Amino acid sequence: MCRYLLFLGFNLLALGTFAQSYCFLNEGLKAQTKISFTLKNNRITQGRWESWDYSADSSEVFTFEGVKVGLKLKVVFPEKVVPYQMPGPGHENGWTLYSKKLLIPAIQRNYETNKYGMIPIELESCPVEDKK
């Protein structure tokens, strides 16, 4: 019995330190957005928001970190530069993580009505790059 408890405790400890890497991509009308991060013990590390502007043929990278609570990701950008227009006070700012999709609440322009409003940025799962 003691061996079984020791084995169970070791496996639970190993599960607690398991890290999962994620990659999400949105190929929009004007820019490509790629978001990648690692999730370990509900902490977001190595977060990268990469934005490629098609017309300028240039890219920018923004780093972020945060925590996961349920399906929500609470993200902060250490340099205080947020690469998208966040909703104002009273709106949910947490990102929603699904198995094959990431939704980020944002203020964006609706190209059919030409008006700005709350339109989430929707990114689809992409292959995780090996970081050797």
38-61 confidence digits (pLDDT tens): 999 999 999 999 999 998 888 999
How many angstroms separate the first and last alpha carbons of the chain? Answer: 41
Q: Is the pLDDT of residue 7 over 70?
A: no
pTM for the model: 0.80
Report pLDDT for 8. Answer: 43
**Strand partners for 65:** 76
> Residue type at 49?
W
Q: Is residue 60 part of a domain?
A: yes
Q: In whole angstroms, give the CA distance from residue 122 to residue 104.
A: 7
Domain presence at residue 103: yes
Whether 42 and 69 have beta carbons less than 8 Å apart is answered as yes
What's the domain range around 62?
18-125
Token output for 108 = 């964006």
The pLDDT tens digits for 58-105 are 899 999 999 999 999 999 999 889 999 998 877 778 999 999 999 999
15-29 mean pLDDT: 87
Beta bridge partners of 36: 23, 48
Domain-embedded: residue 4: no
Residue 110 forms part of a structural domain: yes
